[in-house]
Structure formats: C-alpha cells, structure tokens
Amino acid sequence: MLEIDDRALRVIWTVFLFGLLLAVVYFIRETILLFAVAIFFAYMLSPLVGLVERVMPKRRNLALGLVYVLLIGILVAIGFQVIPTIAEEASSLATRFPSLLATAKMTKIPLPSWLEPIRAQLVSALNREAVNLEASIVPFIQQTGARLLSGLSYILPIILVPILAFFFLKDGELIRVNLIGAVEAGHDRTMVELILEDVHIVLKSYMRALVLLALASFIAWLIFLSLMRYPYELLLAGLAGMLEFIPVFGPAAALVIMLIVCAVSGSGGLLWIIVFWSCYRVFQDYVLNPYLMSAGVELHPLLVLFAVLAGNSIAGVPGMFFSIPAMAILKTIYTRLRVVYGRRKFVRA
C-alpha cells in the first residue's frame, strides 16, 4: 500500500480548508459586503455616539437611540431641502443633455492641439451618440417608476445597514472581548489584542478622514461653482463629494464630469475649473489628507494604485472603496506580526 507522509497530509488538508474558505467567501460575498458597509457606517456614527455618551455616562443604549433619532431627523431635513433640488437639476440635465450635445456649441469646445485635426470626426461621433441618447433617455425616464418597483430588493440592504451598525455600536466591545477570549492566554492573546486595537485605530481614522474630506470637497466645489455661476452647482458639488469615497479615480472622474457638463451647456471657463481642481487637490493631498489620516493609514502611492485597481477587478466600485482600508489593515497586521515575532526571536537568542 502507498504510504503518505503525515506532513504531506497536513499540507493537503490545509490547502483544502483554505480553498474551501475562499469558495465560501466567494458565495457569500454580498453578505460580507453588507456587513462591511455596516461596520463602516458604525465607524461613521461612533464619534457622535461617544460625544452623546459623555453627557450621559453609562447609558450607551440611550445615547445610541438619541443618535439614531438625530440621524433620522437630519436625513428627513436634507430630504426635504436638498434632495428635491438635486433631483430637479439631475432631471433637467438628463433631459437637456442630448440636445445640448447635438448643438453647434460642440464645435467651440477647446481641445488639445493634438486633437484639433480630428475635431470634425469627434463632433460627428458625439452628434450620433446624442441622437441615440435622446432616443433612449425619454423611455428610460418614463420607465423609472416601474424599474423602482422591480428593484425593491435594493431597499432591504439600505434598511439592514443601520440595524447592523446599531448592533456593532452596541456590542462592539463584547465582540472584541469574545474574539480575544477565543485565543489561549499568553503571547498569542496579547498579539490578537494588539492587532484588533491597531485595526480599530486604522478604521476609525480612515472613516473620520473620508467623511471630512467628502464634506470639505462638497463645500469647496459648491462655493466655487456658485461664485462662478456655473449651472447645476448643487448636483456637481454633490457628485464631487460622493466621488471622494472612491480613491484616486473618484476626484478625476468628478473633474471630467464637470468639464463635460460645463462645456456642453456652454458655460465656458473650463480653464478655471481645471485650475481650481488642481489647487484644491494640492491642498487636500498635501495638507488636509495627511493631517486627517495621520494614524496608520499611510500607504505608498504604488500600493494605493495597486489596491484600487485590484479592488475594481474583484468587486467593481465597492471594491475600489474598500481597497484602501483593506490594504491598510493588511499592512497593520503585517507590521504587528513582524514586531511580535521579532521580539520572540530576540528573547530566544
């Protein structure tokens, strides 16, 4: 009979379990994504909960309830004040964009010198796309109600995220204690405790910085677009704020969208948009961003680009959003493990 080495069996068994784990993760990826969004939402609310809890010590559940009531009130106020304006601007742009694209204003859009020889071909192609877009956008708007009814399944995650975040905020410390308690006492338990603490600091710093950066971007663009009297200023500023949640490519996409909308609508002043975007990116990337993300989220630009591209390949836009914190967490775990095992080798020596 064939004899198989015990070590080879253990290796095969480990590889099998690892492959099984990857398969399970793949099949439940939507559930994992939902829980990940809930964790990030919990980190967004955590500073506010902590602030309320200082006023009412030892009453965390009541503080959570007050924060959620306040959050609902803010969302309702925003829904009645801001969202209708944004929806009106979006609807106006969607219905007018095809006709704007087909007008003679396209021939006046400034292009780089190396694109000037093919301006006529570009305008002709854009006109064809405008005709197709105009033929398809009206039926799309008319069918929006039916599509919303058929997409009610998307409402469930929106409801579940705040509920899951509530439990993460309520029982977060208990979850941490149970995770640490699952490891035997000794160096390993201390290592797990330190890793969890490092991950907590990274996520807290990242989410705080991301929210503040998105808010700063929204306010800056809203002020600039309003002062320069560009059209759809609230819609474009809202897009700029939302796209801050997508690393690297989000701000670039916001610039491209603004240039296209302002060029097609005949607003002019495209150079001022580029100048403002460049100045604001320098301020944000070299002043605001390092100040807000000073707690262990520093990553080399090559790692950031790799993480964003890999995240896009794996899960699209959600993958791009989670790529930076995932890479930062992996870096944190690697650094902590290297320190711990380095100390063990030093003690043994």
* Tokens read off for 229: 């009297």
- Three-state SS sequence of 176-236: HHHHHHCCCCCHHHHHHHHHHHHHHHHHHHHHHHHHHHHHHHHHHHHHHHHHCCCCCHHHH
Instruction: Give tens-digit pLDDT for 32-41.
Output: 888 888 888 8
Q: What is the per-residue pLDDT across 161-179, written as a single tens digit (0 to 9) for each?
A: 888 888 888 888 888 888 7
Q: How far apart are CA 140 and CA 147, in angstroms?
A: 9
At 291-328, the pLDDT tens digits run: 776 555 667 777 778 888 888 887 777 788 888 888 88
Cβ neighbours, 10 Å, residue 283: 13
% of the chain beyond a pLDDT of 70: 68
Backbone angles phi, psi at 224, to 5 degrees: -65, -50
Per-residue model confidence (pLDDT) at position 220:
93
Q: pTM of this prediction?
A: 0.70
